């Protein structure tokens, strides 16, 4: 079992799962879901995203995003606006009522970041971030063609 305790891929998965769980707890305390928080944060970062663009960023089906947007719209946190060039496309924009929730998301990120990195020296933090960025680049790069027989 100990070989799995230090398995990088399992650790990355476990840490990501634990972070998602913590964010879920905080969002639920606000009567929301983590997915709704993520949508608010994404739309805050890039106002005017279409539902399809947002679905692509979140790696979910557009219908799932549509339902989440329906709930956020009912709470008057976001609004859909028709795209001036193509009225079939709805662009997402935050409403003022979203700002307190965005502030809370920011605080949650800071708190969880502190918890996550408690006891990790600054130099190690930099190395971890650099290593993770390299891993991300490795996985997002165009894969090399498979050799014959692979």
What's the rounded Cα separation, in Å, for the pair 150 and 133?
Answer: 28
What's the rounded Cα separation, in Å, for the pair 78 and 7?
Answer: 41
First to last CA, the chain: 30
Please state, in angstroms and as integers, the Cα–Cα distance from residue 106 to each residue in 15, 76, 96, following that order: 19, 20, 16
Count of CB atoms situated within 10 Å of the CB of 15? 11
Count of CB atoms situated within 10 Å of the CB of 127? 12
Q: Tell me, what's the pLDDT at 1?
A: 53
Count Cα atoms within 13 angstroms, Cβ side, for 126: 3
Supply the pTM of this predicted model: 0.80
pLDDT in 10s for each residue of the chain, 150 residues: 567 788 999 999 999 999 999 999 999 998 999 999 999 999 999 999 999 999 999 989 989 999 999 999 999 999 999 999 998 899 999 999 999 999 999 999 999 999 999 999 999 999 999 999 999 999 888 777 776 665
* 2-139: CATH class: mainly alpha
């Amino acid at each position: 079992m100990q070989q799995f305790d230090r398995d990088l891929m399992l650790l990355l998965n476990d840490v990501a799962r634990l972070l998602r769980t913590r964010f879920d707890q905080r969002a639920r305390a606000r009567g929301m879901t983590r997915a709704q928080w993520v949508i608010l944060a994404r739309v805050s970062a890039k106002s005017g995203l279409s539902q399809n663009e947002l679905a692509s960023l979140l790696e979910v089906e557009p219908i799932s995003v549509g339902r989440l947007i329906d709930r956020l719209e009912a709470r008057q946190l976001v609004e859909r606006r028709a795209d001036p060039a193509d009225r079939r496309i709805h662009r997402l924009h935050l409403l003022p009522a979203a700002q307190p929730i965005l502030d809370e998301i920011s605080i949650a990120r800071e708190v969880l970041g502190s918890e996550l990195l408690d006891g990790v020296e600054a130099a190690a933090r930099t190395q971890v971030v650099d290593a993770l960025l390299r891993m991300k680049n490795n996985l997002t790069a165009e894969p090399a063609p498979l050799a014959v027989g692979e």
